Amino acid sequence: MVKLSGVYKGMRKGYGETLVELGKKYENLVVLDADLSGSTQTAMFAKEFPDRFFNAGVAEQNMIGMAAGLATTGKIVFASSFAMFASGRAWEIIRNLVAYPKLNVKVVATHAGITVGEDGASHQMCEDIAIMRAIPNMVVIAPTDYYHTKNVIRVIAEYKGPVYVRMPRRDTEIIYENEEEATFEIGKGKILVEGEDLTIIATGEEVPEALKAGEILKENGISAEIVEISTIKPIDEKIIKKANDFVVTVEDHSIIGGLGGAVAEVIASNGLNKKLLRIGINDVFGRSGKADELLKHYGLDGESIAKRIMEETSKF
């Protein structure tokens, strides 16, 4: 059973640790970075396996080109940078050199979403899910917490094909007790809390906030089902079809083209009679500020999510 632990730990730390573990398991695994290995935590792998780590410098497009070339020789390639640069600056290269030939490259981006904080709008990437899931052959994933991230990285190392993973900069609340509980399967969502009145579908660092919102709603007599969807593409259509008639999506991403857009597509394509409320970044750029303050400002903290839902439920 998942629960809010009050313990915070970085997903990117889990990423770095797991790369070292996988480096020992797979001799053909290589890691690339665009001069940000201290921040992305790929420095852990570089220290352990310096002959299998390549720093491309501040040249993200070149990094992806290198990754594609290495993949053609049978390597399992992980390439990392900040989400703004990994998905934005290198998008065309990812599309043409990685996704089109369906090469075995994992683009793992850190510093995604609004909680990049003081770096401001230029570095707060809230469009990456939308632009990456539009690419054919691309799997798009947003892990939930530290333990979950470790399992995500293990799974994608065994998956043959292009994958995009996004993680936040800040330490996030751990909701799983251990790695064994933090199971992950590509394309499968997970019901974390049973509920009868409405369904909250959350992804990434917003899953703990959705759990907080669920507790507040429960105190106000509203029973909320909480669903974790980590794989935004391919999305778990079955779990969405089984959701309650009032569905709320929560994401640290634009509501256009992200989790909310993906869920809306499933509802519309299948003619489902469900009301949908998308909670995320509402087609605006970010601003500088502390991560927690920004979550509150954009209505993405648990309290704000619960308040918004209660306002909507009062309408019908």
The catalytic site residues sit at: 60
CA dihedral 8, 113, 178, 164 (to 10 degrees): -150
Cα separation, 115 vs 123, in Å, equals 10
Token duo for residue 100: 């089109």
Both tokens assigned to 109:
């981006």
Beta-bridge partner residues of 29 = 76
In whole angstroms, give the CA distance from residue 156 to residue 292: 30
The token pair at 55 is 């720093």
Q: Which of 156, 219, 147, 212 is nearest to 183 (CA)?
A: 147
Distance CA 128, CA 45 (A): 25
For every residue of 112-157, DSSP letters joined together read BSGGGGGG-TTT-B-SHHHHHHTSTT-EEE---SHHHHHHHHHHHH
